[in-house]
């Protein structure tokens, strides 16, 4: 069938075909894993000779699984239009020309996906994944609705919240050096977010041009700088703000706002840098060409052809980041980053639900206000 006819013709196509087969093999392997997992999950619930046991593979089990899945994959390939072929866009042409009626009814666009083999397979894999996930994390919906005495107590005490320490510092935090009133800490928190956003954006802005393919050109040095900057963005972005806060809390001091600012700033640089440089890469190249043709230098290209195009989206991204930073700064104290979260988690640990309620209410009000503010700003700018 199709697979044999392409063997002789085109080595590149053959390679893709083998890759498609590999993908099919892998997805069948995944199915086999799912089946084994379910078998195991149910097996131990069945009393076998009066004690529970787990299912183990017989010695021939592994080769059987490997070969069985391979056989299934090859079968998929041979009958045409497998998931792997579809993923690699290896079209298998229909042998028979369409009738007029079929063409009229839109059959030329192919069968609807749920009637093709790859479509069935895709739906099956999706269903398997959901079912498997459900079992693996052992979702217990009952627990969600089980009456909890502790929760009821907590909710009862949160209302009404106790705003005793809104302006007056709580003496429990006497040793911290800063007066710990809700208002004071909230101000610190908002400024943490603000400083982190401004600092982060200020560093990310120039860096982003070094991480943009169309600015760096295709010289070896250009590639190197691009690679380093992009690598920096990707690595530092994949380390979450909370993890950075752990690092800086140890480095600077537990509970110091500076640690929080540093953590937020580092992550902001990397996240904004990536977003910025993608914007720079997406500009219309026309004005760049025009400025170069007029004898402009690289900096002039950035100033006159690139910046005017990206400034609105830069603002939008920065404000969006400011939203994230405000929310993040309220909880960063969990890992020693300072700010209002310091009070939040202290009261939570002490079971001071009424005081906690006041802190939460303030956070909600401030976060909502900041969201609203940045939303309005974004509307005005973009």
Partner 1 sequence: MAEPYLVVEHLTKVYERGHVVALKDVSFEVQKGEFLVIIGLSGSGKSTLLRCINRLIEPTKGRIFIDGVEITRLSPRQMRRFRRKIGMIFQHFNLIKRATVMTNVLTGRLGYNPTWKTLLGLFPRSDRELALRNLERVGLLEKAYVRADELSGGQQQRVGIARALMQQPELLLADEPVSALDPATSHSVMQYIEQMNREDGVTVLASLHFLSLARRYGTRIIALKDGELVFDGAPEEIDDRKFKEIYGEEAEEVEIR
Say whether the peptide bond before residue 269 is cis (omega within 30 degrees of 0): no
Near partner 1 in 191-230, by CB under 8 A: none
CA atoms within 13 A on the CB side of 278: 9
For the bound state, the minimum distance from the C-beta of residue 301 to partner 1, rounded and expressed in Å, comes to 9
13 or 303, CB closer to partner 1?
A: 303
Query: If binding is defined by CB under 8 A, does position 294 make contact with partner 1?
Result: yes
Near partner 1 in 225-284, by CB under 8 A: none
How many residues touch partner 1 under the rule CB under 8 A: the total is: 20
Element (DSSP H or E) covering residue 207: helix 182-210
Query: If binding is defined by CB under 8 A, does position 299 make contact with partner 1?
Result: yes
Q: CB count, 10 Å around CB of 377? A: 15
- Name residue, tokens 């909890």: 148
Tell me how far apart the alpha carbons of residues 275 and 282 are, in angstroms, rounded to a whole number: 11
Query: DSSP labels for 260-275?
Result: HHHHHHHHHHHHHHHH
Backbone torsions φ then ψ of 340, nearest 5 degrees: -60, -30
End-to-end CA, the chain: 56
One of 53, 164, 297, 369 touching partner 1 (CB under 8 A): 297
| Three-state SS at 10 | coil
Contacting range for partner 1; rule: CB under 8 A; set: 109-117, 144-152, 169-177, 290-298: 290-298
Query: If binding is defined by CB under 8 A, does position 169 make contact with partner 1?
Result: no
234 or 297, CB closer to partner 1?
A: 297
Query: If binding is defined by CB under 8 A, does position 144 make contact with partner 1?
Result: no
Query: If binding is defined by CB under 8 A, does position 316 make contact with partner 1?
Result: no
Tell me how far apart the alpha carbons of residues 273 and 232 are, in angstroms, rounded to a whole number: 10
Query: If binding is defined by CB under 8 A, does position 312 make contact with partner 1?
Result: yes
Query: If binding is defined by CB under 8 A, does position 309 make contact with partner 1?
Result: yes
246 or 307, CB closer to partner 1?
A: 307
List residues binding partner 1 (CB under 8 A).
Answer: 286-287, 289-297, 299-300, 303-305, 308-309, 311-312
């Amino acid at each position: 069938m199709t697979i044999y006819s392409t063997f002789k013709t085109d080595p590149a196509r053959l390679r893709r075909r083998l890759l498609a087969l590999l993908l099919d093999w892998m997805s069948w392997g995944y199915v086999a894993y799912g089946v084994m997992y379910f078998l195991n999950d149910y097996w131990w619930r069945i009393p076998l000779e009066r004690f529970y046991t787990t299912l183990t593979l017989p010695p021939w089990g592994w080769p059987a699984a490997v070969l069985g899945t391979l056989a299934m994959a090859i079968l998929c390939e041979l009958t045409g239009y497998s998931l792997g072929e579809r993923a690699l866009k290896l079209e298998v042409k229909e042998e028979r020309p369409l009738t007029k009626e079929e063409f009229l009814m839109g059959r030329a666009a192919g069968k609807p996906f749920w009637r093709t083999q790859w479509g069935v397979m895709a739906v099956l894999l999706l269903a398997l994944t959901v079912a498997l996930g459900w079992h693996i994390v052992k979702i217990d919906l009952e627990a969600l609705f089980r009456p909890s005495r502790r929760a009821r107590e907590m909710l009862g005490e949160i209302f009404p919240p106790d705003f005793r320490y809104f302006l007056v510092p709580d003496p429990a935090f006497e040793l911290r050096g800063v007066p710990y009133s809700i208002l004071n800490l909230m101000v610190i928190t908002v400024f943490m977010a603000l400083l982190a956003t401004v600092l982060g954006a200020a560093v990310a802005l120039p860096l982003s041009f070094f991480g943009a393919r169309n600015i760096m050109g295709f010289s070896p040095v250009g590639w190197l700088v691009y690679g380093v900057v992009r690598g920096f963005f990707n690595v530092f972005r994949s380390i979450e703000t909370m993890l950075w806060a752990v690092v800086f809390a140890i480095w600077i001091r537990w509970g110091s706002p500076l640690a929080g600012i540093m953590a937020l700033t580092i992550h902001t640089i990397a996240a904004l840098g990536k977003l910025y440089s993608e914007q720079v890469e997406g500009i219309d190249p026309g004005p760049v060409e025009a400025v170069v043709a007029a004898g402009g230098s690289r900096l002039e290209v950035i100033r006159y052809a690139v910046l005017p195009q990206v400034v609105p989206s830069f603002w939008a991204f920065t404000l969006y980041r400011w939203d994230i930073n405000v929310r993040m700064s309220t909880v960063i104290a969990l890992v020693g980053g300072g700010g209002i979260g310091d009070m939040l988690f202290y009261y939570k640990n002490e079971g001071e639900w009424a005081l906690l309620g006041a802190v939460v209410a303030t956070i909600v009000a401030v976060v909502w206000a900041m969201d609203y503010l940045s939303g309005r700003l974004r509307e005005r700018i973009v």
